[in-house]
Amino acid sequence: MILNSLRYEEKATKDLERYNSQMKRAIEQESQMSLKDGRKKIKPTSAWNLAQKHKLKTSLSNQPKLDELLQSQIEKRRSQNIKMVQIPFSMKNLKINFKKQNKVDLEEKDEPCLIHNLRFPDAWLMTSKTEVMLLNPYRVEEALLFKRLLENHKLPAEPLEKPIMLTESLFNGSHYLDVLYKMTADDQRYSGSTYLSDPRLTANGFKIKLIPGVSITENYLEIEGMANCLPFYGVADLKEILNAILNRNAKEVYECRPRKVISYLE
């Protein structure tokens, strides 16, 4: 491209020199004829200026057309690159909703407020004190379902081939056993044994049997059934439940779900 430009410049320079020399000869011939005829001599510079003015006038007269063509090409390229989407809008409805929103005391209560549902794709427009947001109803439905599962879902306890006896050494402390002994149990069977019926245990898939001894201090506990829908589920997860009860005073099922159960419900 640079070589072609240099060639065109050289050619244009040569053409201009040739044109100037021809113009000079023509003016000299004209001046000689004028002297013979007694007419006034024409200056070469004035003739050259007239030619340049005529050339400039012609180029200026064509400039608006060039500008128009150039602008149309730019707009055409822009229209090809930009995708236009028409969105319905009503200033009247916006003013009505704005008046309703002003009635909400956002200074004292910063709660999200639904404005209107959108057509794409099943979304709701909502606002709070400082933000404007889009609400996805499907995500809300998932969150509500997950909340219900945390609160109410009961993992089935499957019988173990060999029950696991719970001891102080297994828990590394007697305080975990104290918590279990304080939990409610169902009616005593003929054998004298009972099962802990606390929902914080049963909903998490643990079936724990309380077997009485000769005295209260000789009572012992064993895991007779446990959920098998989770991999590597066992005593460590039971310890998580008891930790939540001891350290966070967890009284509801959703407050003492082990991490494995939370991941499973998700």
Measured CA distances, 34 to 21, 45, 85, 179 (Å): 20, 17, 74, 130
Category of 22 on φ-ψ map: left (φ > 0), alpha (ψ -120 to 50) or beta: alpha
Tell me, yes or no, whether 218 lies in a domain.
yes
User: What confidence score (pLDDT) does residue 42 get?
Assistant: 47
Q: Which helix (H) or strand (E) holds 220?
A: strand 220-226
Q: Which amino acid is at 155?
A: L
Tell me, yes or no, whether 85 lies in a domain.
no
3-state secondary structure of 34: helix
Residue-range definition of the domain harbouring residue 244: 155-265
Domain count, the chain: 1
Locate 228 and state its tokens.
């098998």
Tell me, yes or no, whether 256 lies in a domain.
yes
Tell me, yes or no, whether 102 lies in a domain.
no
User: What confidence score (pLDDT) does residue 140 get?
Assistant: 87
Tell me, yes or no, whether 163 lies in a domain.
yes
Tell me, yes or no, whether 7 lies in a domain.
no
3-state secondary structure of 193: coil
Tell me, yes or no, whether 43 lies in a domain.
no
Q: What is the pLDDT along the chain (266 residues), one digit of tens a residue?
A: 445 555 667 777 777 788 778 777 777 776 666 555 555 544 445 555 555 555 555 555 566 776 777 777 777 666 666 677 788 888 888 888 887 777 665 555 667 777 777 766 678 888 877 788 888 888 889 999 999 999 999 999 999 999 999 988 888 888 899 899 888 888 766 667 889 999 999 999 999 998 887 665 678 899 999 999 999 999 999 999 999 999 999 999 999 999 999 999 99
